[in-house]
Amino acid sequence: MEKGFFHHALTIREDICTGCSLCMRVCPTEALRIRDGKARLIEDRCVDCGECFRNCPVHAIIIEQDDFSRIFDYKYRVALVPAVLHGQFRHEVSMSEISAVLKSLGFTWVYEVEHGAEILKPAIDDLMDMRTLPRPLISSYCPAIVRLIQVRFPALIRNIATVKAPLEMAAFYCRRVLRDGGAHNAEIGVFYVTPCAAKIAAVKSPVGEESTPISGVINMDFIYNKINRTLRNKGELKYGDDHAYSVNPETLAWSLTNGEASCINGSTLAIDGMNNVTEFLEQLENDEITGVDYLELRACDEGCAGGVLLSSNRFLVAERLRNKARNLKPGTDSPETEEFKNIEAYKEYLMNKVRITEEIMPRSMYRLSGDRDEAMKMMKRSRRLMCWLPGTDCGLCGAPSCQALAEDIVRQRGDISQCVFIRESNMGKNLMDMERSSEIMKRIWGDNNFTKNCNKKGAENESN
Partner 1 sequence: MTFEYKVQGGDFTHAGYASSQVKKMLKQLDVDNVVIKRVVVCLYEAEVNIVAHAWDGVISIVLETDTIFMKLTDNGPGIPNIEQAMQRGFSTASHEVREMGFGAGMGLPNISANADKFLITSEPGKGTTVEITINLNSTAV
> Which chain residues interact with partner 1 by CB under 8 A?
154-155, 282-283, 285-288, 290-291, 362, 364, 366-370, 372-373, 375-376, 378-380, 383
CA distances from 459 to 257, 455, 463 (A): 40, 6, 9
Smallest distance from partner 1 to CB 243, Å: 48
Nearer to partner 1 among residue 76 and residue 153 (C-beta): 153
Q: Measure the CA–CA gap between 58 and 461, rounded to whole angstroms.
A: 16
Nearer to partner 1 among residue 19 and residue 414 (C-beta): 414
Burial readout 282-303 (b: 16 or more C-beta within 10 A, e: otherwise): eebbeeeeeebebbbbbbbbbb
Smallest distance from partner 1 to CB 286, Å: 5
Nearer to partner 1 among residue 375 and residue 416 (C-beta): 375
* Burial class of residue 191 (count of CB atoms within 10 Å of its CB; 0-12, 13-18, 19+): buried
Smallest distance from partner 1 to CB 157, Å: 8
Q: Measure the CA–CA gap between 150 and 190, rounded to whole angstroms.
A: 28
Q: Measure the CA–CA gap between 254 and 74, rounded to whole angstroms.
A: 30
Smallest distance from partner 1 to CB 461, Å: 47
Smallest distance from partner 1 to CB 367, Å: 5
Q: Measure the CA–CA gap between 277 and 121, rounded to whole angstroms.
A: 22
Nearer to partner 1 among residue 326 and residue 383 (C-beta): 383
Whether a cis peptide bond, with omega within 30° of 0, leads into 400 is no
Give yes or no for a contact between 284 and 144, defined as CB atoms under 8 angstroms apart: no
Smallest distance from partner 1 to CB 277, Å: 16
Residue 187's CB: how many other CB atoms inside 10 A?
Answer: 14
Q: Measure the CA–CA gap between 191 and 207, rounded to whole angstroms.
A: 19
Give yes or no for a contact between 269 and 294, defined as CB atoms under 8 angstroms apart: yes
Q: Measure the CA–CA gap between 430 and 439, rounded to whole angstroms.
A: 16
Smallest distance from partner 1 to CB 236, Å: 58
DSSP 10: E
**Cβ-Cβ contacts under 8 Å for 92 (sequence gap 6 or more):** none
Q: Which ranges constitute the DSSP H helices of 153-296?
A: 166-180, 197-204, 220-232, 249-252, 274-285
User: Is residue 77 helix, strand or coil?
Assistant: strand
Residue 386's CB: how many other CB atoms inside 10 A?
Answer: 15
Residue 161's CB: how many other CB atoms inside 10 A?
Answer: 22
Smallest distance from partner 1 to CB 73, Å: 44
Terminal CA-CA length for the chain? 40
Smallest distance from partner 1 to CB 279, Å: 10
Smallest distance from partner 1 to CB 375, Å: 5
Give yes or no for a contact between 74 and 213, defined as CB atoms under 8 angstroms apart: no
| Torsion over CA: 316, 317, 319, 323 (sign) | positive
Smallest distance from partner 1 to CB 278, Å: 11
Nearer to partner 1 among residue 43 and residue 282 (C-beta): 282
Nearer to partner 1 among residue 137 and residue 149 (C-beta): 149
Longest dimension (CA), the chain: 86
